[in-house]
Amino acid sequence: MKLYTFDPAPNPQRLKMFIDYKGIELDATQVNFPEGEQRTDAYKAVVPTGTVPALVLDSGRVLSSVFAITQYLEALHPDSPLLGTSEEERALILDWNHRIATDVFKAIADLFRNTNPAFAGRALPGTLDTEQIPALAERGRNQLLHALNIMNDELSSRDYVAGDSFSMADIDLLVSLHFAGWAAKVQPDESLTALSDWRQRAQAALG
């Protein structure tokens, strides 16, 4: 199998933290994002979504989401589990993967991609070229601030996002907070102390 990625981008970062934590060795190629290699016909012939990360399996089939790639790799490498070890844990982690993707990560992406001039004419990742909509940036900011308050409330009663153990849900939130800082210039308010305490704890658990 072969991984196509670009480590500094947020979704590849989620996957890299997962891979490094579990100590998995993979044949990986860095796609030249700054030069738009992900948008070339040559890349799309391999990865039709035109996005990173993507894992090309030995069968030739392509996994183009962090959700699927992590499920697949965890099944192959069960040590240092990040996706849960009981049915309840697995379901809770998946629930938080989904909530963080839609309520936090997507809010930041809406804010970033609808304001940054670098994304004029391509406000969405992938193959659909579309204009920026400034109102989506405003909505993204409101959604993000609301979600950070919710995460603070959630984290005031447990150590990690999905429960008592560090998991992929913590990686998703760590990457999202980093993404919010550089791309949306949003830092969690100082009053969100449970979120800030969790951030230190999760960063330490990551090693």
Can you give the binding site for ligand GSH, defined by CB under 6 A?
A: 9-11, 38-39, 51-53, 65-67, 125
Least Å distance between CB 135 and ligand GSH?
21
Least Å distance between CB 143 and ligand GSH?
18
Residue 8: name the closest of 38, 53, 40 by CA.
Answer: 53
Check: CB of residue 158 under 8 Å from CB of residue 82. Answer: no
Least Å distance between CB 114 and ligand GSH?
13
Could you say which DSSP state residue 59 is in? Answer: T
| Nearer to ligand GSH among residue 65 and residue 165 (C-beta) | 65
- Burial of residue 97 (CB within 10 Å: 0-12, 13-18, 19+) is buried
**Distance between CA atoms of residues 69 and 129, nearest Å:** 26
| Nearer to ligand GSH among residue 125 and residue 163 (C-beta) | 125
Least Å distance between CB 185 and ligand GSH?
18
| Nearer to ligand GSH among residue 47 and residue 192 (C-beta) | 47
**Distance between CA atoms of residues 82 and 110, nearest Å:** 28
Query: What count of other Cβ atoms lies within 10 Å of the Cβ of residue 204?
Result: 9
Who contacts 10 (Cβ-Cβ below 8 Å, separation ≥6)?
Answer: 105, 175, 176, 178, 179, 183
| Nearer to ligand GSH among residue 155 and residue 177 (C-beta) | 177
| Nearer to ligand GSH among residue 36 and residue 78 (C-beta) | 36
Least Å distance between CB 53 and ligand GSH?
6
SS3 state of residue 126: coil
